[in-house]
Amino acid sequence: MPKTYKLEYFNLRGRAELSRLLMAQADMKYEDVRLSFADWGTAKGNQEKYPLGFLPVLEEDGKVISQSMTIARHLAREFGMAGQNEEEMVMIDMICETCNELLSKMIEIALMQGEAKPNAVKEFTEVKSLLPMKNITTWLEMNGKGNGYFVGEKMSVADLFVFSIMEHLAGKYPNILTKHPLLQAFYERMIKEPKLAAWIVKRPNQDIDI
């Protein structure tokens, strides 16, 4: 029997999009539940459904899994997108952790209001994003000429996470992406991958741009 999956989050890409991309690329059927902030206010108290008190959660055959990266790593292993051996897995993990740090920073800035925001944006675009972007570029270059995927010859969760981060950058901070032509080219290749392209066309418009 195929497993049943229900992924609950807000109507954002945020910390759930990586798992949604994994589902799309693996052709998996799942319930893509998107709670409004008002609904979450009342639902949050349900310890059984939301044991850690935050989203996303994945219900797999009725069993709840929390923590976005735990969910994504689990799905990647289930779908054969977590690497073929320990060396690949370590590399994939390192890339994913770097992406997750960038995502955390971008979420923090997206939720910021008031006077501190312009400075935070400036610091992110001019300082904090530079080293991770340089490292991500180097990792891509290390695999062949940097014209394919990040690890080996097969798409992995690392490719999906980098793609998702580049998509955020393309929308919010295009100058960062244009300064990294290899990653821009990677983004442009990935957006044409048929299963990802089909998902991007059909996914709902998000409530907040993150």
Ligand X SMILES: N[C@@H](CCC(=O)N[C@@H](CS)C(=O)NCC(=O)O)C(=O)O
Which of 94, 201, 206 is CA-nearest to residue 156?
A: 94
Among 5, 7, 8, 14, binds ligand X (CB under 6 A): 14
Longest dimension (CA), the chain: 54
Which of 41, 34, 28, 31 is CA-nearest to residue 13?
A: 34
Question: In degrees to the nearest 10, what's the CA dihedral of 18, 21, 23, 25?
Answer: -140
**Least distance in angstroms from the C-beta of 210 to ligand X:** 9
Q: How many H-runs (helices) and E-runs (strands) does the chain carry? A: 10, 4
- CB nearer to ligand X: pick between 14 and 83: 14
Q: Which of the residues 56 through 95 are near ligand X (CB under 6 A)?
A: 56, 67-69
Question: How far apart are the C-alpha atoms of 203 and 67, rounded to whole Å?
Answer: 22
- CB nearer to ligand X: pick between 12 and 140: 12
**Least distance in angstroms from the C-beta of 138 to ligand X:** 26
How many degrees, rounded to 5, is the angle at CA 192 between CA 68 and CA 169?
Answer: 50
- CB nearer to ligand X: pick between 106 and 151: 106
Among 21, 22, 24, 55, binds ligand X (CB under 6 A): 55
Question: How far apart are the C-alpha atoms of 79 and 156, rounded to whole Å?
Answer: 9
Among 54, 79, 173, 199, binds ligand X (CB under 6 A): 54
Q: Is 125 in the site for ligand X (CB under 6 A)?
A: no
- CB nearer to ligand X: pick between 69 and 106: 69
Q: Which of the residues 141 through 160 are near ligand X (CB under 6 A)?
A: none
Which stretches of the chain bind ligand X, using CB under 6 A? 14-15, 44, 54-56, 67-69
